[in-house]
Amino acid sequence: MSGSKTGLERLREKIREWSEEIGPITPRMERDPGALEEFCDAAVFRYQAQLAIPPEYRVSDDTGMAPVPGEGMTVQRVVMAEEISAVDPAIVLAAPGPSLSGGAIEAMADPDQKKWFYSRLQERPTWTFFGLTEPKHGSDAMGLETTLTPSGDGHLELSGTKRYVGNAARADVGVVFARTRPGPLGVMAVMVDTADPGFKATPLPTLGMRGNQICAIEMDRVRIPPENVLGRHLPASRRGIWGALQSLSAFRPGMAGMAVGIARAAHDYLLRHRGELAAGGMERVREIGRRIEAGRALTLHAARAADARSESAGYLASAAKYRTSRLAEDVTREAIALLGPGARLDHPDLDRYARDARAVEFMEGTRNVHRLNLFQGIVQRKLSG
């Protein structure tokens, strides 16, 4: 039988097996995100970090999982994100490794900067962060107010406030977006060492994705050496906000994969509790199963477009993120309704799925923002396939 499995199916099975190994950590991580640190050498984390580090910068490939022939990295990331999220989506976000900042590094770092960044991540399990959102600037990231100013001795100084930044309090290094002058081309990205004086990250209390430990960051004249400025070798239009968008777009299909994973976790939960469902419940569960299949197919389609660098890729990723974040919210809410009054108290796992689903709506662009992007793709006739 196993001889007839595709490479992607084998990858799915392996990640499912690895994810289940760390499943028991989930209830503890809800109370204490630091609990994850005991497991950070688990195979699923090593694989996730490995997939995010380009082969030429990897010290070793130690998980024994070769790339799937005929499939690109985005497709593999989507499968990984779905499988881990069916256990706990916070684990995808809370894992040590390049995270979203790796996307910024890929888009804007020169070879020396890449070498420095990736080598730091491989000395030991190391967290990173991606600092874009500010208290008054979420969806309108271009309005960001954090400043990057010359210090007079060839260095720069970073000052400002960021919000909702995952893993910042446990990260060693990250990428921060800041303004050197007014206007969209005045934004630059810099690599920041969190041990430097003037940098402070504080975890925020949250309802969902608690393991991700989203943080507030205060920066007061953090010194940035000139070699930590990303995109210095690139034209002005290829730095700053452009790099942030590249990074977010590259990870968006993975975010849709996470949403599919959450919906699947709720669906599987209903199947395991079929005896407790309200009348007509199984018909609803079958319909949910069909919607999940459709969401997964759209997500894989968007991932393959991203791997093929298709002109439609960004719009399809928006469509997938839009559709699946809604799917995760609808399915988790419906699952709670099908289990009747008190379900959130009696079924804490289901309660967690619903809280996590709400968080997916905000990460990497809200549904309204993706609806606007999709609309642009349609009117400009850039959405094919």
Residues that bind ligand FAD (CB under 6 A): 100, 130-133, 138-139, 164-166, 209, 212, 214, 359, 362-363, 366, 368-369
Tell me whether residue 50 or residue 247 sits nearer to ligand FAD (CB atom): 247
CA–CA separation, 104 and 98 (whole Å): 10
In the complex, the smallest distance separating the C-beta of residue 174 from ligand FAD, rounded to whole angstroms, is 9
And the tokens for 266? 């709720």
In the complex, the smallest distance separating the C-beta of residue 380 from ligand FAD, rounded to whole angstroms, is 18
Tell me whether residue 187 or residue 270 sits nearer to ligand FAD (CB atom): 187
CA–CA separation, 292 and 106 (whole Å): 32
**Between β-strands 127-131 and 171-179, what pairing exists: parallel, antiparallel or unpaired?**
parallel
In the complex, the smallest distance separating the C-beta of residue 189 from ligand FAD, rounded to whole angstroms, is 12
CA–CA separation, 12 and 169 (whole Å): 31
Tell me whether residue 74 or residue 212 sits nearer to ligand FAD (CB atom): 212
How many of the other CB atoms lie within 10 Å of CB of 378? Answer: 12
DSSP 3-state helix, strand, coil percentages of the chain (rounded to 5)? 60, 15, 25
What DSSP element (H or E) covers 120?
helix 111-122
In the complex, the smallest distance separating the C-beta of residue 337 from ligand FAD, rounded to whole angstroms, is 23
In the complex, the smallest distance separating the C-beta of residue 191 from ligand FAD, rounded to whole angstroms, is 15
**Between β-strands 229-230 and 187-193, what pairing exists: parallel, antiparallel or unpaired?**
antiparallel
The neighbouring-strand residues paired with 218 are: 161, 200
Tokens 């995010």 locate to: 52
And the tokens for 73? 């990295």
Query: Is the separation of the CB atoms in 104 and 229 below 8 Å?
Result: no
CA–CA separation, 226 and 211 (whole Å): 34
CA–CA separation, 342 and 344 (whole Å): 6
In the complex, the smallest distance separating the C-beta of residue 379 from ligand FAD, rounded to whole angstroms, is 16
Tell me whether residue 119 or residue 139 sits nearer to ligand FAD (CB atom): 139
In the complex, the smallest distance separating the C-beta of residue 359 from ligand FAD, rounded to whole angstroms, is 4
Tell me whether residue 29 or residue 359 sits nearer to ligand FAD (CB atom): 359
Tell me whether residue 132 or residue 335 sits nearer to ligand FAD (CB atom): 132
How many of the other CB atoms lie within 10 Å of CB of 169? Answer: 21
CA–CA separation, 114 and 322 (whole Å): 32
Q: Which residue's CB atom is positioned nearest to ligand FAD?
A: 138
Tell me whether residue 158 or residue 359 sits nearer to ligand FAD (CB atom): 359
In the complex, the smallest distance separating the C-beta of residue 176 from ligand FAD, rounded to whole angstroms, is 9
Tell me whether residue 79 or residue 176 sits nearer to ligand FAD (CB atom): 176
